[in-house]
Homo-oligomer: A and B are copies of this chain.
Amino acid sequence: MTDGPRRSVVRRLLSVLDTFDATTPTQSLTEIAARTELPLPTAHRLLAELTAGGWLERLPDGRYRVGLRLWKLGTLAPSYRNLRELALPYMQDLYHATHENIQLAVLDGRTALCVENINSVRSVPTRTRIGGRLPLHATGVGKVLLAAAGTELLASLAEKGLRRFTRYTIIEPGRLSRTLATVRDEQVAFSREEMTLGACSVASPVTRPDGGVVAAVSIVAHSSVDVDRLAYAVRTAASGISRQTGML
């Protein structure tokens, strides 16, 4: 029946957990079995064990969703645990000064991962959610993180082709590389409608005392806003957070 190579119990279990994402926060047994390509009884047994332990929850209608226990565990993840607590006050200051959207992201593989955000009702509505992903080459935070990463990352991204989101997206590796050099130089990255038409952003790196970049903060505003004028604000906030990282 199952053609694929046999996975270990552990990998099966983890692939069950992996089926939960932002687009499918709740799932039925059949859906999970289908997505994991596991026989129905097998999926059922794994889900039963996860539910019994409180890792997943079962809704009255039989559907499964992520439980509090997993949330609590995730809370201990490094980029979250302290960074978020240190950064939030500074992000709030930025928000009160500008009334625009504020984001905090870390590097996760080949994308930027949003770990905290403050959405403004007055500013451009962003699709970004906590736990959501952002492209490295078309956003402010992405560029900051990409600039700080080794050149191999850029090379590997370029190899697979830089996706064009709007007509302003930089998809030429050479031009992107030059942009990143400026970012490293000035500690600020811009994105002018490169990800979404009508939205611009300014980002700046959060660093450890040794200079390593751990995250990026940014302001995401409507394209009519002069983001250059916001650059110093982001840099100031980023410096504030960076100063605190020494205490981790």
**A92 part of interface (Cβ distance < 8 Å):** yes
List B contacts of A228 (CB < 8 A).
Answer: none
Q: Taking beta carbons and an 8 Å cutoff, which residues of A are in contact with B? A: 8-11, 13-14, 17, 20-22, 25, 46, 49-50, 53, 55, 57, 65-68, 70-81, 84-85, 88, 92, 95-96, 106, 108, 113, 115, 118-119, 129-131
List B contacts of A119 (CB < 8 A).
Answer: 85
Q: Give the residue of B9, B68, B80, B106 whose beta carbon is less than 8 angstroms from that of A108.
A: B68
Measured in the bound complex, the distance between the Cα atoms of B77 and A84 in whole Å is 18
Query: Which of A49, A74, A129 neighbours the largest number of chain B CB atoms within 10 Å of its CB?
Result: A74
- Quickly give the copy total for this chain: 2
User: Closest CB-CB distance, A51 to chain B, in whole Å?
Assistant: 11
Contact assessment for B65 and A71 in the assembled complex, using a CB-CB cutoff below 8 Å: no
Contact assessment for B68 and A17 in the assembled complex, using a CB-CB cutoff below 8 Å: no
Measured in the bound complex, the distance between the Cα atoms of B79 and A79 in whole Å is 21
Contact assessment for B72 and A70 in the assembled complex, using a CB-CB cutoff below 8 Å: no
